[in-house]
Structures are given as structure tokens and as C-alpha cells.
Amino acid sequence: MASMVESAWTYLITHFSDFQLACLGSFFLHESIFFFSGLPFIYLERAGWLSKYKIQSKNNTSAAQERCITKLLLYHFGVNLPVMILSYPVFRFMGMRSSLPLPSWKVISTQILFYFILEDFVFYWGHRILHTKWLYKHVHSVHHEYATPFGLTSEYAHPAEILFLGFATIVGPAITGPHLITLWLWMVLRVLETVEAHCGYHFPWSLSNFLPLYGGADFHDYHHRLLYTKSGNYSSTFIYMDWIFGTDKGYRKLKELKSGGDDTGLKKT
């Protein structure tokens, strides 16, 4: 397996420049993972398949879903791609490389774990700030246009928010200067995590059923259903920040009601 990965990587660095891989390659990888993981949830919702696992009974209209995709493409090409290009010198300065040898799996896993923890901490406070009255009204309300989220709404946001909260995702790699393959793996995992958190479904195989500190779709869907002043559940991946600062009290109370047999609050929207 290691030799196959190394051979594939040798081909990439032989046929493409460092800039092409870090900028255009990263953008292509992001778009592929994002849309291939997010689009199936649109079709699940339209077809009504696996509806018993859907958290909210309300569905989005086809027009609303198509509007989301159109704006996402505009944001990705108009904001994400330029940011990747402009941030390339910073990552290079901090030590990012694409050359052989590849880092060990121990190094990769350690760095990615650090990125998840740091991203969750930074995201929590940034997200909580966005729920102050002025910023919510003028910036964050765009993301909350979809009270019933689906996978692709995870990156549907005001351009200012894309830059603001995007910092949480890149700060870890920016300060550690990882190998490009580590950066790509981090990006893939982060995209899959945020798409899952917005998918609108809570399956028996959802990670939140097996990882105690993992939030997942059930945790984040609650955040989208409530008014901005009462939402809580601000974390991106884990739940401990909300627990420490008491911003998950409403969600916990709802879970207690559900476990007691009263799940009326889960199907209101």
C-alpha cells in the first residue's frame, strides 16, 4: 500500500509543479470530495429514501437546492480558489513541501488530530461571535437561510464568513508547515465531517453513535432549527466546548425529553 501511494505521488510531482498541486490540485480535490459526498443527500431528500433517518420532516424545494449549488460554485471559484492561490506563499514559507519522502502515518495522524482540536476551538469562538446580533444579521444569516440543512449547505455562507471561519481550518496547517499529502488528507476529512454534520440524517452508522465527543448531524441540525439568540451548539466537530461553556443546554434538554418519550420538538420544522 505504501509503495502504491509513493508511486502515485512520484507521478504527481513529476508531471505537475508544486504550485499546481498545492493550489489547483487542492481545489480540484476539494470540489470532488465536497460535491460527491454532498449531492447524494439531495437525491435522498427528493426521493424520500431513508426518510425514517431524516432528522426534520420538512424538505427543501428543488429550486432552493439548485440555488444553493449555483451560489456555491460562485463562492468556490470567486473566494476559495483565490484564497488558495494567495495563501500558497505563506504555506511555503512555513515549510509546506510536496517532495519525497512522504511523512510517516504517525506524523500524519498526529498532525491531523492537532488540526481537528485546534480547528474546533477556533471555530467555536468564531461561530459564537457570528451569532451576535449585527454579525448574524449582516453575515451569518446567509448560512442559516436553510433551516433544514442538507450536505451542500455546509459551505453555503457569506463570503466574509468563508474567510472568517475558513481561518479555523487553515491555521493548524499554516503554523506547522505539513507535507502536501497531509494537507490533502486533512482537507478531505474536514470536508466529509462538515458535510455529514449538515446532511440532515442521523443513521445507525453515524459516527456520533460511536464517538462520545463527536457532534455529527443530530448535534448540528439542532443549531439550524432555532433562532440565532437561542441556538447554541456552536462547535464544528466535537461537543466538549459547548458543554464546558454551557451553550448546549437546550440541546441536552431536548435529548432528555426525547429519551423520555417526548420527541415532538424534533419534527416541528
Instruction: Note the pLDDT tens digit of each residue in 114-166.
Output: 999 999 999 999 999 999 999 999 999 999 999 999 999 999 999 999 999 99
Over residues 248-265, mean pLDDT: 78
Quick: pLDDT tens for 215-252: 999 999 999 988 776 789 999 999 999 999 999 999 99
Angle between the N-to-C axes of helices 180-197 and 105-130, in degrees from 0 to 180, rounded to the nearest 10: 50
The strand pairing partners of 179, in sequence order, are: 97
What is the span of the domain harbouring residue 229?
Answer: 2-266
Quick: pLDDT tens for 35-62: 999 999 999 999 999 999 999 999 999 9
- How much is the pLDDT for 264? 40
Domain count, the chain: 1
Over residues 78-107, mean pLDDT: 96
